Structure 1
């Protein structure tokens, strides 16, 4: 028994325009009746429920399409194995977004507080008014002192367990998941003495990816930390 688009839309709650788009990109392909109308199989409602659940998790449509093929043809254990790393990666991206938005919120509050502190004057604004963020960037220098050599050695030991590659503005290294706690602790310690470095940890099933980014003037320090010539990148 086939269903027409209006019935599928009514029973699934998915707008007809969205169903046509899904058909266009191959996510929910349809057949055609002799009169040219779209014809959907009965099990399209299950497929649409899966898509809706995945979209609620904000998974990209391209990934949803890949997962659908597994969900409809493979064993549940295989589907779970495919889904876990995707959810881990997406959760890491969301965490990065939340951290970025939190930083932005703090900057906006700081800007508002600075604005309120400025005197109300009849004269034109001077440079102190022109810059809402009354902050100076941290100096590009490590404040660790005597413990720097020991920390560099710890980083070199960690990174030797994976493949280290240059990326735009820094380095990236894939490491086994059992080194995650060590990487997180080192990142936190390094952030305390070198706040100009940025650290990202992205989970990928039985491994994770550590990305360290640096401003251009701190690339020599990053090269010393990792042993990779990032200055020439």
Structure 2
């Protein structure tokens, strides 16, 4: 197959032209150049682009794709498999942490709804503002404690 220009290679891969340009800028791709300076993608570069895209689709961050590419460049598939497995294990662990954080947030929202639903129907005032904040375990800041009082409450959760 003949070498393709960047727009043709991008179209063949189903990505915008900015994708191979960015991959080149961060050192993942090294396309050839014509005598007039246009990028050209031969089979090897297009194969590398497809490999990068496949790894990205698995959820490996671009910053870590380079590690898998180095493994691919150095040795057999077993090396690539080992490196990619490490990357995926890290991604699964990060995803599980995010799920835990989201579940904790969901519990705080549920607590907030329970507090809202438990509010007495008063003609004036709202005791909810004096109750512990539904999104933190910290005690509420005293009313009138000055500007910024209570700022950042719950930020560490």
Q: Same fold (TM over 0.5)?
A: yes
Q: Distance in 1 between matches of 2:136 and 2:100?
A: 21
Query: Alpha-carbon deviation of 1:7?
Result: 0.7
Cα–Cα, structure 1 residues 134 and 66, in superposed 2: closer, same or farther, change >3 Å?
closer
Superposed displacement of residue 84, structure 1: 2.3
Q: Distance in 2 between matches of 1:136 and 1:18?
A: 46
Match of 1:202 in 2: none
User: Any stretches of 5+ residues in structure 2 without a counterpart?
Assistant: 140-157
CA RMSD of aligned residues (A): 2.3
Q: Which moved more, 1:47-56 or 1:20-29?
A: 47-56
CA shift in 2, pair 1:135/1:66, >3 Å: closer
Name 1:30's counterpart in structure 2.
31
> Structure 1 stretches (4+) deviating beyond 6 angstroms?
none
TM value normalised by structure 2: 0.75
Q: In 2, are the aligned partners of 1:107 and 1:133 still within 8 Å (CA)? A: yes
CA distance in 2, matches of 1:134, 1:61: 35
Instruction: Give how far 1:99 is off.
Output: 0.8
Unaligned runs of 5+ in 1: 138-233
3-state SS, counterpart of residue 39 of structure 1: strand
Contact 1:115–1:132 (Cα < 8 Å) also in 2: no
Which residue of the partner structure matches residue 73 of structure 2? 72
Rounded to whole Å, the distance in 2 between the matches of 1:125 and 1:80 is 59
Cα deviation digits, residues 168-205 of structure 1 (max 9, x gap): xxxxxxxxxxxxxxxxxxxxxxxxxxxxxxxxxxxxxx
User: Cα 1:133–1:6, aligned 2, differ >3 Å: closer, same or farther?
Assistant: closer
Task: Determine which structure has the larger strand proportion and give its number.
Answer: 1
2:41 partner SS: strand
Q: CA deviation at 1:65?
A: 1.2
Q: Deviations over 1:70-118 (max 9, x none)?
A: 2234111122222222222221111111111111111111111211211
- Between 1 and 2, higher relative CO (CA 8 Å, sep ≥ 6) is seen in 1
Contact kept in structure 2, 1:118 and 1:129, CA below 8 Å:
no
Secondary structure of the 2:99 match is: helix
Does structure 1 retain, via aligned residues, the 8 Å contact 2:20–2:49? no
Contact 2:67/2:83 (<8 A) preserved: no
2:18 maps to: 17
What TM-score do you get using the length of structure 1 for normalisation? 0.53
1:45 alignment partner in structure 2: 46
Name the counterpart of 2:8.
Answer: 7
